């Protein structure tokens, strides 16, 4: 334990400060595909009974019209966050008819590329911008990859925590800059240690063979229709052959907030020759928003992001530059196909302790070969994390995953104990103990359990996934929402449809000018 972490633990453990830890906020975004009864991608429009995907705050779509995204509010109690997620699923099932919500992260058997429907958000300028952005993703990366689903975990620490730490450390930054620097420090440590999350919670060791569209790969054959790697934890987070694009050379710097936002600002303003060759229009139709490395900053695929709630019409970079970091979004979590909502409370309890450790532990700048080693460790674990004797690199030296994981869990334990003290419970310690068991026995990891279940039932990936999908559907349909909850969701749906209609009816200005202004909003930011 570093001296800095030790001091911070003592400070947070003081009776006057301990209640602060009950004010952390937790929000979850869960993506999932709508599929037919025979496990095929739904070709139907976003159900009107779910409201407008453009303006609904809790139920929207991600890449495809069939890729639903459920968004909880940010709440102090993660149990309440998960209850909110459960309620959204139950309401969704009232509008799906015969369709189902696909259980795992890796997609069902997909139709031809051109038959994967892109999400549609109506005729308003902002709705069209969202649609054209997705057309650009199709041009740049293909539609297939965009059908992968995941769990995004949004986490913030209480605002009152930062001035407390700053004053104790005699810092001379203002509160906003100190808070941003602390979150960026959290992200650097997350980069160092997030391989552990992939080992503990990765749940995508196999996929439908059609996903690769006949491209060369290094996966093994599980059966006639399933590819896998025997020790993989999360093929979702592996490269899967998608390395030949502009993002391959884009590694935003996490030394401070300015260098991070500037690297993304440059990426959304710098032309990339292959995209220039494609152009923004084909046969008079928009095919991508621009020809730059990134169309918008959210196009950058990262395992964690610094975030700030945006105002209407404001871009994420603008919000970060104007008001600093407010929370982090963890984006590397697979959907657990054994859980109806794809995520459970023990994961949340452990993740809180893990993220608190990343925030409180000393976080030197990532310099020299360490940045590459972070990436290499992460990629090793997603492809072969359960391999016996697997070695990672730490400070230029080889160390076994099992030894490093055990040491990390020992380091996280005081944070779990502190969280339990603040809440008057022992659930964080229990969650930590469950992770120790997984380190001792890889067969307990979700990735191992997926393969074990497929083997025991003599199932392909699609058959396993469909069995879990149907079990979850039965779970959600077995207990209806209480009438007040259902009424509230129905009202939200109607209100969101009206809001979209208002936008379209009152739209001012041509779409081409809207896109130009949107682009200029980034180009005009002073460096």
What string of pLDDT tens digits covers the 527 residues of the chain? 799 999 999 999 999 999 999 999 999 999 999 999 999 999 999 999 999 999 999 999 999 999 999 999 999 999 999 999 999 999 999 999 999 999 999 999 999 999 999 999 999 999 999 999 999 999 999 999 999 999 999 999 999 999 999 999 877 889 999 999 999 999 999 999 999 999 999 999 999 999 999 888 999 999 999 999 999 999 999 987 554 577 776 777 688 999 899 999 989 999 999 999 999 999 999 999 999 999 999 999 899 999 999 998 889 999 999 999 999 999 999 999 999 999 999 999 999 999 999 999 999 999 888 988 999 999 999 999 999 999 999 999 999 999 999 999 999 999 999 999 999 999 999 999 999 999 999 999 999 999 999 999 999 999 999 999 999 999 999 998 999 999 999 999 999 999 999 999 999 999 999 999 998 887 765 44
> What are residue 32's DSSP bridge partners?
68
User: Looking up tokens 């890729």, which residue turns up?
Assistant: 67
Most distant CA pair in the chain: distance in Å?
A: 67
> Model's pTM, two decimal places?
0.97
Domain boundaries, position 502: 3-523
Q: What is the pLDDT of residue 524?
A: 63
Q: What is the pLDDT of residue 356?
A: 98
Q: 164: part of which helix (H) or strand (E)?
A: helix 161-168
Query: What CATH number does the domain containing 173 carry?
Result: 3.30.590.20
- b/e code 96-132 from CB counts within 10 Å (16+ = b): beebbbbbbbbbbbbeeeeebbbbbbbebbbbbbbbb
Q: What is the pLDDT of residue 244?
A: 53
CA dist 256 and 357 (Å) reads 19
Q: What is the pLDDT of residue 61?
A: 98
CA dist 341 and 338 (Å) reads 9
Count how many domains the chain has: 1
Q: What is the pLDDT of residue 527?
A: 45
């Amino acid at each position: 334990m570093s001296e800095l972490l030790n001091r911070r633990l003592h400070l947070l453990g003081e009776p006057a400060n301990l209640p602060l830890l009950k004010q952390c906020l937790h929000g979850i975004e869960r993506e999932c595909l709508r599929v037919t009864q025979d496990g095929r991608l739904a070709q139907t429009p976003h159900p009107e009974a779910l409201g407008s995907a453009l303006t609904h705050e809790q139920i929207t779509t991600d890449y495809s019209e069939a890729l639903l995204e459920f968004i909880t509010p940010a709440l102090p109690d993660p149990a309440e966050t998960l209850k909110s997620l459960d309620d959204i699923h139950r309401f969704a099932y009232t509008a799906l008819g015969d369709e189902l919500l696909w259980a795992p992260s890796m997609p069902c058997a997909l139709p031809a590329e051109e038959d994967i429907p892109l999400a549609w958000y109506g005729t308003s300028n902002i709705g069209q911008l969202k649609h054209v952005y997705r057309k650009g993703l199709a041009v740049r990366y293909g539609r297939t990859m965009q059908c992968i689903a995941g769990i995004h975990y949004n986490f913030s620490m209480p605002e009152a925590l930062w001035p407390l730490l700053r004053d104790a450390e005699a810092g001379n930054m203002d509160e906003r800059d100190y808070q941003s620097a602390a979150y960026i420090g959290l992200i650097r440590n997350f980069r160092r240690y997030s391989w552990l999350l992939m080992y503990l919670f990765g749940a995508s060791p196999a996929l439908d063979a059609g996903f690769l569209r006949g491209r060369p790969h290094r996966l093994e054959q599980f059966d006639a229709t399933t590819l896998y790697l025997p020790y993989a934890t999360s093929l979702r987070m592996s490269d899967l052959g998608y390395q030949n694009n502009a993002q391959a050379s884009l590694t935003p710097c996490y030394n401070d907030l300015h260098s991070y936002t500037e690297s993304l600002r440059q990426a959304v303003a710098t032309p990339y020759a292959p995209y220039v060759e494609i152009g923004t229009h084909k046969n008079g139709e928009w095919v991508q928003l621009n020809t730059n490395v990134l169309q918008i900053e959210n196009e950058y695929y990262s395992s964690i992001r610094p975030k700030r709630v945006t105002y209407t019409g404001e871009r994420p970079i603008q919000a970060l530059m104007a008001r600093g970091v407010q929370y982090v979004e963890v984006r590397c979590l697979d959907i657990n196909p054994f859980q109806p909502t794809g995520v459970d409370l023990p994961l949340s309890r452990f993740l809180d302790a893990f993220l608190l450790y990343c925030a409180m532990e000393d976080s030197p700048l990532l310099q020299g070969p360490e940045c590459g080693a972070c990436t290499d460790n992460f990629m090793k674990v997603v492809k072969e994390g359960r391999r016996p004797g697997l070695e990672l690199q730490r400070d230029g030296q080889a160390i076994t995953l099992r030894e490093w994981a055990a040491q990390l869990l020992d380091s996280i334990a005081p944070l779990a104990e502190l969280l339990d003290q603040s809440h008057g419970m022992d659930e964080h310690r229990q969650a930590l103990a469950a992770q120790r068991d997984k380190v001792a026995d890889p067969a307990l990891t979700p990735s191992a359990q997926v393969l074990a279940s497929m083997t025991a039932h003599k199932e392909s990936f699609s058959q396993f996934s469909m069995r879990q999908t149907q079990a979850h559907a039965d779970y959600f349909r077995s207990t209806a929402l209480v009438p007040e909850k259902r009424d509230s969701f129905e009202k939200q749906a109607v209100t969101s449809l009206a809001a979209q209609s208002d936008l379209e009816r009152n739209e001012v200005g041509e779409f081409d000018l809207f896109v130009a202004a949107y682009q200029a909003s980034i180009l005009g930011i002073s460096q």
